[in-house]
Chains A and B, each alone.
Chain A
């Protein structure tokens, strides 16, 4: 039998993976770059060769609707990710205590995570229903509100309500990651700090915080990357409305390319999204690399 040198074997084992990455990711990405410099239109294939230079980019950067969609996305990402981190860490601190029903509660955290994203969006859309929704019924029946609200129909509220649906689904991930980190802290350390007279607040900052900061920052960046791509809950809950108040970048690109069929300019929007994502992904890789070196 032939024995390959080590490096050859290594590359051979990697070949199928590289083929897939090149075929399904590398090639399309390069093609998107190409499209972004053309006037390509979905309905007429001949247009794919019509070179327009940087025109699409210049137009994109001057397009207030696109810029608004970036702003909406930034808004959505900061609201939902910061809430997910704060709630996730608080929940992890709670689950790190000993109390009855802790295992059950921990198991319940998996429910939102495993619930399909589209079902989650649909569920919250029904809960927010303007005519017969449960949220309206609950808030009026306990007397917090006088009359029914159109939660998703109000441009000032809609993005917040969509963020709530996202927070509900994703804070458990942050909680589980943080909980795993908390469980590595020795009980003796906490007790020693307590005996030295540190109160709960001081204990958090001196003992707990240093132990969880690395995994929590990884979770933060990971959630930011994911939230930045948000499409499905927007599609199901609001389709970008009302008055474009929930239109995110992914949704904008989708409309430009598939509703208006302008592939060229859609591609230039998409690549601006990629550039922003690339910064986030690079941060993420840097973080896990750093963590891998210390762990």
Chain B
């Protein structure tokens, strides 16, 4: 092994520290703002370390249930959870058989379907939003969870199908043979053979799907208009657009909205990385 020179070591460590600071500082500052008083955040020169740390903003958002900010935040949290989890669950139910079919029962025309699916979820939403909006309006579904769940399935189903297909491809096809001879049908094989082996891939797909649904803003902004269906991204955009700029409160809302996806991503770090990989570079 070639020993790195002293200059090399210095370069490596100083770049590593710079990178760490760049990654951490903005979020750290968001957190500091969330526990600072408005007075500390609006003095010149800026008070970097707050004089007294207070979690009052968090209480305003999740503790004091009667306040209007808590009402909009908690409802948004509930809506985001319902929409993201239902859309993910439904999408997986649809994507699993589709991915199995594309992986195990290939045919020329069906193969091109995979590429249709990939193209589908990359489609800019502006191309679809107008007819979807009028369809939802005429069905009376505007400002409901159902509208968002349906539209998100349009994004998540093709995405998870693609992700699962590339993972199913790695499972030996021989495993399906014995039960097929014993008379099992394909759904039984998927349930008893494929899914138990593909558990990690399934986890990665579910994680990516939840993160994508949690993050979606465009459709949520247009299809919802009050606390009954507004999701967190929309509620946060509302907070940020408010006339009275309460920096601390906005920051606390941001931190709270970040905790679920970031902690999920960290607990399932391996799944996330493998999900990102197979969901971006494999065909």
B130 touches A266 (CB 8 A): yes
A119 touches B107 (CB 8 A): no
A119 touches B129 (CB 8 A): no
Chain B interface bracket (under 10, 10 to 19, 20 to 34, 35 or more): 35 or more
Contacts of B244 in A (CB 8 A): none
> A197-226 vs B: 1/0 string, CB under 8 Å?
000000000000000000100110010010
> B168-208 vs A: 1/0 string, CB under 8 Å?
00000000000000010110000000000000000000000
Whether B139 sits at the interface, judged by CB under 8 Å, is: no
Instruction: Tell which of A13, A25, A218, A231 touches B128, judged by Cβ atoms closer than 8 Å.
Output: A25
B127 touches A105 (CB 8 A): no
A124 touches B154 (CB 8 A): no
B12 touches A119 (CB 8 A): no
> A38-81 vs B: 1/0 string, CB under 8 Å?
00000000000000000000000000000000000000000000
> B153-177 vs A: 1/0 string, CB under 8 Å?
1100110010000000000000000
B131 touches A31 (CB 8 A): yes
Nearest CB in chain A to that of B95: its residue? A17
Whether B85 sits at the interface, judged by CB under 8 Å, is: no
Distance between A210 CB and nearest chain B CB, rounded to angstroms: 16
A122 touches B250 (CB 8 A): yes
Whether A182 sits at the interface, judged by CB under 8 Å, is: no
B24 touches A1 (CB 8 A): no
A97 touches B237 (CB 8 A): no
Complex Cα spacing A177 to B278, Å: 10
Complex Cα spacing A122 to B236, Å: 8
Whether B97 sits at the interface, judged by CB under 8 Å, is: yes
Contacts of B46 in A (CB 8 A): 132, 134, 137, 141
Whether B272 sits at the interface, judged by CB under 8 Å, is: yes
Nearest CB in chain B to that of A30: its residue? B131
Contacts of B239 in A (CB 8 A): 122
Contacts of B30 in A (CB 8 A): 119, 123, 126
Complex Cα spacing A119 to B34, Å: 13
Of B51-59, B64-72, B118-126, the segment with at least 4 beta carbons within 8 Å of chain A is B118-126
B276 touches A177 (CB 8 A): yes
Tell me the residues in window 13-45 of chain B with beta carbons closer than 8 Å to chain A beta carbons. 13, 15-16, 19-20, 22-24, 26-27, 29-30, 33, 41-45
Instruction: Tell which of A7, A101, A278 touches B16, judged by Cβ atoms closer than 8 Å.
Output: A101
Tell me the residues in window 126-172 of chain A with beta carbons closer than 8 Å to chain B beta carbons. 126-127, 129, 131-132, 134, 137, 140-141, 168, 172
Tell me the residues in window 9-26 of chain A with beta carbons closer than 8 Å to chain B beta carbons. 9-11, 13-14, 16-18, 20-21, 23-25
Given contacts A13-B98, A132-B247, contact A118 B236 (CB under 8 A): yes
Contacts of A254 in B (CB 8 A): 126, 218, 222
Distance between B20 CB and nearest chain A CB, rounded to angstroms: 6
Distance between A95 CB and nearest chain B CB, rounded to angstroms: 8
> A237-258 vs B: 1/0 string, CB under 8 Å?
0000000000001100110011
Instruction: Tell which of B42, B237, B277, B283 touches A236, judged by Cβ atoms closer than 8 Å.
Output: B237
Given contacts A94-B19, A232-B218, A289-B283, contact A25 B120 (CB under 8 A): yes
Whether A108 sits at the interface, judged by CB under 8 Å, is: yes
Whether A173 sits at the interface, judged by CB under 8 Å, is: yes
Complex Cα spacing A196 to B112, Å: 47
Nearest CB in chain B to that of A117: its residue? B215
Contacts of A83 in B (CB 8 A): none
Whether A91 sits at the interface, judged by CB under 8 Å, is: yes
Tell me the residues in window 105-159 of chain B with beta carbons closer than 8 Å to chain A beta carbons. 105, 107, 110, 113, 115-120, 122-132, 134-135, 150-151, 153-154, 157-158
Contacts of B135 in A (CB 8 A): 28
Complex Cα spacing A32 to B130, Å: 7
Contacts of B16 in A (CB 8 A): 94, 99, 101-102, 105
> B69-111 vs A: 1/0 string, CB under 8 Å?
0000000000000000000000001110110111001010010
B44 touches A123 (CB 8 A): no
A215 touches B117 (CB 8 A): no
Instruction: Tell which of B236, B254, B261, B282 touches A288, judged by Cβ atoms closer than 8 Å.
Output: B282
Complex Cα spacing A17 to B100, Å: 12
Nearest CB in chain B to that of A115: its residue? B258
> A250-277 vs B: 1/0 string, CB under 8 Å?
1001100110000100110111011001
Kindly list the 4 A-B residue pairs having the minimum CB-CB distance in the complex, ordered from nearest.
A24-B154, A292-B283, A31-B131, A137-B46
Interface residues of A, Cβ cutoff 8 Å to B? 1, 3, 6-7, 9-11, 13-14, 16-18, 20-21, 23-25, 27-29, 31-32, 35, 91, 94, 97, 99, 101-102, 104-105, 107-119, 122-127, 129, 131-132, 134, 137, 140-141, 168, 172-173, 176-177, 180, 191, 194, 215, 218-219, 222, 225, 228-229, 231-232, 235-236, 249-250, 253-254, 257-258, 263, 266-267, 269-271, 273-274, 277-278, 281, 284-285, 288-289, 291-292, 295
Query: Given contacts A28-B127, A28-B128, could you give 6 more A-B pairs where the C-beta distance is less than 8 Å?
Result: A16-B98, A17-B158, A20-B153, A24-B150, A110-B269, A127-B26
8 A-B residue pairs with CB within 8 Å: A20-B94, A25-B120, A28-B135, A105-B16, A112-B23, A118-B217, A141-B45, A281-B118
